[in-house]
Amino acid sequence: MNRRDFSKAAGTMIVGGMVPIACSNTDENPSYEDLVEEIWSHSPPPIGQGSDLMFELVRYATLAANSHNTQPWKFKIESNRISILPDFSRRCAAVDPDDHHLFASLGCALENMALASHAFGLQEFVTLGEDFIQVDLEPRRPDESALFQAIPERQCTRSAYDGRSVSVDQLALLEESANEHGVATQLYTDERALEAILEYVVAGNTAQVNDEAFVTELKEWVRFNKRSVAETRDGLFSAASGNPELPTWFGERAFSFFFKADTENDKYRDQIRSSAGVIVFTAEQDNKEGWINAGRSYQRFALQSTAIGLKHSFVNQAVEVPHVRSQFTEYLNIGDRRPDLVVRFGYGPLMPRSLRRPVDQVII
Ligand SMILES: Cc1cc2nc3c(=O)[nH]c(=O)nc-3n(C[C@H](O)[C@H](O)[C@H](O)COP(=O)(O)O)c2cc1C
């Protein structure tokens, strides 16, 4: 069967309904739609105190962006202290061999937790240890910031955008929100720079798509239909990247067949060329503390951009493959600092949401 035959067969099976993707919703097995509504919402008042409040802070933390949506975190609650811990059983050895993204993901969770603490009248005092983040909480005046308000709205939107540019004032607001925790950002909006960045993304993507370990790992985290996302409540929902829903067995075969460098690179060309800009995050230090701070800074950018109606998505291929990252670092002219994260932004549609595991599953 060649690629065209396969595609035709896939189309016929989906449209003709030969491949049922059955969904039976019960209280024990809520539907994808019910879970989206439950997960992506603000806590209904009253919030409560003590352990109820701590639980809510953890819930907001889990709404953060995280690499491959593995949700590589655990939380320990002790009185007025919450520790955020890495869950190394969810690390991605192929795409993230040094756990850079894992610790950046913990930073994203920490930032959400800090913003939620402020909203509920608590001030966080953060201690970073070797493999833990300790957050001690003390009373303060409540502050429901626009960033906090945006937490349930934020998503990584992996579609083409509409090409509109972002005003200078809004760009300044985005930079201001991100330039915290010692992280520097570089913002690019002119066509020549975006084309240059695209070349690094394409080079990184080509290397990754041709790397069997990368592809095998990615496939393990792709969820091909709503039922599978609702069951695992983690991973990358293929529909969120604009792909049709497929039964898992069929999706896995289709993935191996269609996931090719050329087609993926064409997607990234469309996506970057339709974006208003790209922002690069570079922490002061290339160590766990720096990676956590890069995650915090990205999360602030993501929430601020959501608050002003923008969409964004990572294009980290330029920093994930070491030899491409060295060349990209030279292009950025940042000396021997390591560029941590690369994100495009612009105006675009809302895509299907990712899910999160139940909060009690991540509390130890
Ligand atoms: C450190 C880090 C690296 C990421 N890298 C990528 C990436 O290279 N490409 C991508 O499409 N998404 C990337 N993501 C986004 C996650 O896949 C996304 O946050 C996750 O699937 C959950 O979806 P949501 O953010 O829409 O809730 C990254 C997220 C983090 C925190």
Q: What is the pLDDT of residues 114-141, one digit of tens each?
A: 999 999 999 999 999 989 999 999 999 9
pLDDT digit string, tens, across residues 216-241:
999 999 999 999 999 999 999 999 99
Crossing angle of helices 248-258 and 212-221, rounded to 10°: 150
Give me ligand 1 centre to Cα 2, in Å: 32
Q: Residue 25: which pLDDT band, with cuts at 50, 70 and 90?
A: low
* 65 Cβ inside 6 Å of ligand 1: yes
For the stretch 5-13, contacts whose Cβ atoms lie closer than 8 Å and that sit 24 or more positions apart, written own/partner, are: 6/254, 6/257, 7/258, 10/246, 10/250, 10/254, 13/250
Query: Which residue, by CA, sits nearest to atom 28 of ligand 1?
Result: 67
1 CA from centroid of ligand 1 (Å): 34
Q: Does residue 132 lie in a domain region?
A: yes
107 CA from centroid of ligand 1 (Å): 13
Residue with the smallest CA separation from ligand 1 atom 1 is: 101
Q: How far apart are CA 280 and CA 30, in angstroms?
A: 38
- In 129-190 the beta strands, taken as DSSP E runs, fall at 133-139, 184-188
Residue 69 alpha carbon to ligand 1 centre in Å: 7
Residue 85 lies in a domain: yes
Decide: 321 and 183 in contact? Cβ < 8 Å: no
* Domain membership flag for residue 87: yes
The Å distance, Cα 157 to ligand 1 centre, comes to 9
**Domain assignment present for 335:** no
> Which protein residue has the closest C-alpha to ligand 1 atom 8?
316
Name 139's Cβ contacts closer than 8 Å, sequence gap at least 6: 121, 122, 123
Mean pLDDT of the chain: 93
Domain-embedded: residue 171: no
In a domain, 27, yes or no: no
Strand pairing class (236-237; 222-223): parallel
For residue 84, is it within any domain? yes
Domain, as residue range, for 57 = 32-153
**Residue 241 CA: which ligand 1 atom is closest?**
11
Hey, which residues does 89 pair with through a beta bridge? none
The answer to whether the predicted template modeling score (pTM) of the entire model surpasses 0.85 is: yes
In a domain, 23, yes or no: no
In this structure, the residue with its CA closest to atom 31 of ligand 1 is 66
Q: State residue 24's pLDDT score.
A: 56
What is the CATH number for 92? 3.40.109.10
Q: 39-92, pLDDT tens digit by residue?
A: 999 998 888 889 999 999 999 999 999 999 999 999 999 999 999 999 999 999
108 lines ligand 1 (CB under 6 A): yes
Mutate which of 67, 311, 319 for ligand 1? The one with the most ligand atoms within 8 Å of its CB, which is: 67
Task: Give the chain's domain count.
Answer: 1
The residue whose C-alpha atom lies closest to atom 21 belonging to ligand 1 is 69
**Contact predicate 288/128, CB 8 Å:** yes
Among candidates 57, 84, 60, which has minimal Cα distance to 73?
84
Cβ atoms within 10 Å of 21's Cβ, excluding its own:
17
